[in-house]
Amino acid sequence: MRRQIVGYLRFIPCYVKWVKDKGKNVFATILPNRCLMCHQGIMLPDKGICPVCFEFSLYHFPVCLGCGRKMFIDTDFCGGCLLTSPLKVVAPCSYHQGLGTFVAAMKYQAQFSALDCLTDALINRIKTLESKGLLIMLQVLIPVPLHSKRLRQRGFNQAWIIANTLSKKLNIPLFTEGLSRIKNTLPQAGLSGKDRRQNLNNAFILAESLDLQRIALIDDVVTTGTTVDAIASLFQKQHIHVQVWCLARAEAPGLLN
């Protein structure tokens, strides 16, 4: 009898897991699944933002990978950026055309309901640009780091969460060693270009002699590019190729007209 009881007990963890998985499926069908933008119902497995609203908010034309300007042919840089060869910034959408609210919600409200659809859109954008010869695939993903004090206050680094999600979906390693933020800077929002650069002066350090050739810096949104430029310069001193991948691009006014 005792042996039979012990035998039954071995099946309890499997049964508990089965009930837990079934419970998730039941709750998923009972709880409202509505679009964050239009509030209409969404059919599973879609979630977060409905396909109609999401597709409407993405880029549907070529944009300059340097400044975000709307272009009419598939190429990496516009005429102005060809003269300066800036960092290539890859994003699936403009911050100002609908999806920026949900990107900001990740940082300020810890709301990641749109994370999956935004990272999927970014991956599609990356693969499209790669197929056209405008990008090369990279070795590792590196999230823009937070200062330790800011990390304790916020409790998470949204850039790391985005990078970790991309790493799993693309099967590209996540690299978090070597790059550190040693200066607890003021928030960049609201600062002028000059103040942004001064704010980030000597804010980051990078370990020497990294065995890397091609990396992607990961952030939630790129506005003026001051932060990623400051970090990229450290890698470029070691002759490491840098791209920037983000969920949205907050380009200067008028560039998409």
Span 71-99, mean pLDDT? 94
Q: What is the pLDDT of residue 44?
A: 74
User: Cis peptide before 143, with omega less than 30 degrees from 0?
Assistant: no
Strand partners, 206: 179
Which residue has tokens 């990107």?
103
- Has residue 247 got a pLDDT over 90? yes
15/221: higher pLDDT: 221
At 6 the pLDDT is 47
Report d(CA 18, CA 20) in Å as an integer. 5
For the chain, how many residues are written?
A: 257
DSSP secondary structure string for all residues of 105-153: HHHHH---TTHHHHHHHHHHHHHHHHHTTS----SEEEEPPPPHHHHHH
Compare 30 and 95 and report the one with higher pLDDT: 95
| Tokens linked to 77 | 């840089």
Span of 43-57, 102-116, 162-176 with lowest mean pLDDT: 43-57
User: Nearest to residue 247, comparing CAs of 46, 28, 48, 34?
Assistant: 48
Show the tokens assigned to 201: 């002066």
Question: Cα(159)–Cα(118) distance, rounded to whole angstroms?
Answer: 13
Q: Look up the pTM and report it.
A: 0.83
The pLDDT of residue 123 is 97
As a whole-number percent, the residues of the chain with pLDDT over 90 amount to 59
Task: From 7, 10, 44, 50, select the one nearest 29 (Cα to Cα).
Answer: 44
Task: Give the model confidence (pLDDT) of 182-230 as tens digits.
Answer: 887 656 665 655 666 666 777 899 988 888 999 999 999 998 888 999 9
User: pLDDT tens, 149-167?
Assistant: 989 999 999 999 999 999 9
